[in-house]
Amino acid sequence: MKKEKNLRIFLYVVTILSLIYTCYTVFQAYGTFTSYYQGIAYQFLDVFAYVISSCYAPLCFTILFYVMIVALDIWCDYLEKEVAGGVLHVEANEDPTKEIKKAAKEQYKDDKDLAKGAAKIDKAVVKEEKESIDEMARSQKEAAKELAKENRAELNKIAEDEKKFAAEDKRIKDKEIDETKKEAIKDAKEAEDLVKETAKQVKKNAKK
């Protein structure tokens, strides 16, 4: 539309200049006619014909420029209607719940990542606890080597029991952590689905 606006301004300027020159030519032709036919009887049609024949070129250009301005105005009105119609068409077809769905999806992703991160940290803590118990059991076995055979066997059994308990405890805690993670992800997914379903209903009602 900027080009059309600049062209309209240019045509207005040229048309005004052409009109000024046409008026000047008309007055000059009229003055020439009256001075040439001074003292001679003449009719209005004689003056009109002489003036037109003297200034038809600038007059034609003035009319041409004016027609171009009118045509440009019609074209600009057509373009404005097309653009307005296109905008309304896009707005009518645009999903009003798109941003809501997008936000719900991003929230689900954040909640899912948060649940996975929390599970990873919890498992690392459990693993560290097990490794600590295993290290303690190894230390007890090393210490048992210096004891009598009977005491050594008993101490080794205690160390093995501690390792088994630590392994079982880790397995149970890891399972609980995984269940917690699954529940958190499930809840996040249900929340996302609820938002999407609500958005779908809003969109459906908006079309009515």
Residues 61-107 pLDDT 10s: 888 888 888 887 887 777 777 666 654 454 545 555 677 777 777 87
pLDDT at 10: 79
Helix axes 2-36, 44-93, angle to 10 degrees: 170
- 3-state DSSP assignment of residue 1: coil
Q: What is the pLDDT of residue 88?
A: 47
pLDDT in tens, 118-136: 778 877 877 787 777 777 7
The string of pLDDT tens digits covering residues 128-184 is 877 777 777 777 667 666 655 556 666 667 777 777 887 888 788 888 888 888 888
Integer Cα distance of 199 and 192 in angstroms: 11
In angstroms, how far is the first alpha carbon of the chain from the final one? 36
Instruction: Please say whether the beta carbons of 1 and 79 come within 8 A.
Output: yes
Q: Where are the domains of the chain?
A: 2-93, 98-207
